[in-house]
């Protein structure tokens, strides 16, 4: 299975971002505290439906936002599959 696309809305320090991943090597480069780990965490949350960094889902929602959304498209041998996780601060 391979991740083709990832979209984050109000996820941690990301307001809105959409990424397309090429089939080749993908590198995440940046200064400290720019969101590289948050990006990797969002992929983990999309795959596993929980964070490996916190048990409090509200920490995944951007500051002063009601909800966060992670969506993506994965490619399998049988075709592509859309995935979506919605995280609400209401529990």
22 lies in which domain range?
Answer: 2-88
pTM for this entry:
0.93
CA distance 34 to 38: 9
CATH number for the domain including 11?
A: 3.40.50.300
Q: How many CB atoms lie within 10 A of CB 41?
A: 19
Structure tokens at 83: 């995935």
Residue-wise pLDDT tens digits, 71-86: 999 999 999 999 999 9
Residue-wise pLDDT tens digits, 33-69: 999 999 999 999 999 999 999 999 999 999 999 999 9
Domain count, the chain: 1
SS3 (DSSP) at 90? coil
CA distance 87 to 70: 8
Beta-bridge partner residues of 49? none
Residue 90 pLDDT grade (very low, low, confident, very high; cuts 50, 70, 90): confident
What DSSP string describes 23-71? Answer: SS-------TTSSHHHHHHHHHHHHHSS-SS-S-GGGGBPTT-SEEEEE
């Amino acid at each position: 299975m391979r991740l083709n696309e990832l979209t984050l809305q109000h996820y941690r320090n990301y307001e809105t971002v959409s990424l397309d991943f090429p089939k080749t090597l993908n590198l995440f480069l940046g200064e400290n505290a720019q969101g590289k780990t948050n990006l990797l965490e969002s992929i983990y949350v999309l795959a596993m439906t929980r964070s490996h960094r916190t048990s409090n889902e509200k920490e995944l929602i951007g500051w002063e936002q009601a909800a966060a959304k992670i969506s993506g498209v994965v490619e399998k041998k049988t075709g592509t599959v859309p995935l979506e996780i919605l995280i609400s601060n209401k529990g």
